[in-house]
Structure 1
């Protein structure tokens, strides 16, 4: 007997084949002038408003020192570099958790591969003095259906402003120290490295996440599946940005940098029963849960599935498979 799941994906594949053009347009960006454009932003600006065709913006290796914004009417864009180590979009700005971002995404239906987004503020010394630690995002995601493959996000505070929408990260690298994955996003981080740059903030504690779910009727949250947490210093897995904050680590590995308590209630004291923070089958020297906060949740099998099952949590309409046809 054919399973309902098989029928669903067969129907989806046929629908996509018949209704969505698999053809793509390619634009080449090269800093030295060997492409159609020398900057990423000019390539994006060349795409017509209300575009319906998947367009690959291919970046030759290089460090692109520019701020990049993709507005709401520029959908169906793929940014593709050579590798996250050799293809970098970077900028130096700070002071605002939204406006200071190096990369800003407002358009749905977006993909990126083999690129690092970096905010260089706080990452360098000026006259041998560390700059003041403040908001300095590398990327702002304010759009639905965005996926990232083998990408990097590097900063110190608010590195990845995972603000609104469904987002999928596979094989990525995220580096920071203070609330460096934060926002209201509904996001799955899979097979990725979360790197705590604790040495950049001295004796302060680091905080990996600051997730902002505000109601038990909302479905957003951050899920880390098969990830590894590495780095230096002492780090909390998350602190509660809003009173229904939700973060789950599933079968992930922790270096010996996790604070024994694991989690911080921050500004939500008294709201512990509403917060969903959980570790499921994690391992490594930082995964000892004997001294974790008492209000950390133990999820039932059904609750786990709602977070960990990609289709239930993130991919209800098959958008990830649809995007991969064009990658």
Structure 2
């Protein structure tokens, strides 16, 4: 495994990434010193096996002030498979802080700060552990197969005056896809009011498992963006959640009740997205 020491060999994060050979097959760690890196960063699909490692999500920040197209304006864009980030915050003014569309991508102790479309979790299998995600409008969206574990989801709707916030806009399009967002042992905090999600596509799938909700969740819990009439196909579920926002007595009637077997397929990491052990293999290199 190669390592770039963080002692100033490169003046930008992008220059360090560009120095790694295309079609690299050796895990390479890029160490980022504490500080604010004001730049856009992109990892193209020909640059797999990269680890971006900061000094802490509060002290190592990659930031840009763009807005506009949610697929083009991201501060950080990942297209390569086999990627890890640790202890870094990705930040933007309005557009996505990060766009993730490479398979087998994992984030540990990372932050994602924005307002709308903060985390474009687009395509692939992704794992987020002990992360912090902040926003107000559809701020976790896309059609990936992702597990968010032990993470904080912070709603900022009151501060920016958007009315009601929408945490997720999940984009599963067919019954045959594995696409879903699963929040396991997470906490939803902030100012609200907020919906846990709104259906972005016909088979939108989001599960909150053993998570806690502040008193900011709209009593209905869930909403539909453009998919009215497809409620029977949508899988929105809360399992063993707690906190003042977890009262399900007034939730939408089409929220699903999962069987024990269905629950396990979502919340068991091995069954949901780690069948080939890629998460454990990656951890060996952190």
**1:74 pairs with 40, 43, 47, which one?**
47
Distance 1:317 1:106 in 2: 21
**2:206 pairs with 235, 243, 247, which one?**
247
Tell me which residue corresponds to 1:26.
3
Tell me, yes or no, if structure 1 residue 279 matches structure 2 residue 259.
Answer: no
Tell me which residue corresponds to 1:171.
130
Secondary structure at the aligned position of 1:181 is classed as strand
Q: Deviations over 1:255-280 (max 9, x none)?
A: 00000000002211000000000000
1:252-267 alignment, distance < 5 Å? 252-267=211-226
Q: Deviations over 1:232-285 (max 9, x none)?
A: 020000000001000000000000000000000221100000000000000000
Instruction: Tell me which stretches of 4 or more aligned residues in structure 1 moved more than 4 Å.
Output: none
Distance 1:299 1:286 in 2: 20
Tell me, yes or no, if structure 1 residue 305 matches structure 2 residue 264.
Answer: yes
How far 1:74 sits from its partner (Å)? 0.4
Tell me which residue corresponds to 2:66.
93
Secondary structure at the aligned position of 1:273 is classed as coil
Q: Which consecutive unaligned segments of at least 5 residues does structure 1 have?
A: 1-23, 123-135
Distance 2:70 2:282 in 1: 29
**1:55 pairs with 11, 21, 28, which one?**
28
Distance 1:223 1:71 in 2: 27
When normalised by structure 1's length, the TM-score is 0.86
How far 1:203 sits from its partner (Å)? 4.9
Tell me, yes or no, if structure 1 residue 108 matches structure 2 residue 81.
Answer: yes
Distance 1:220 1:99 in 2: 22
**1:159 pairs with 118, 123, 133, which one?**
118
Instruction: Tell me which structure has the larger Cα radius of gyration.
Output: 1
Distance 2:97 2:167 in 1: 15
Q: Which consecutive unaligned segments of at least 5 residues does structure 2 have?
A: none
Secondary structure at the aligned position of 1:83 is classed as coil
Contact 1:227–1:253 (Cα < 8 Å) also in 2: yes
Tell me, yes or no, if structure 1 residue 321 matches structure 2 residue 273.
Answer: no
Secondary structure at the aligned position of 1:230 is classed as strand
When normalised by structure 2's length, the TM-score is 0.99
Root-mean-square deviation over aligned CA pairs: 0.8
Task: Please state which structure has a larger fraction of its residues in helix.
Answer: 1
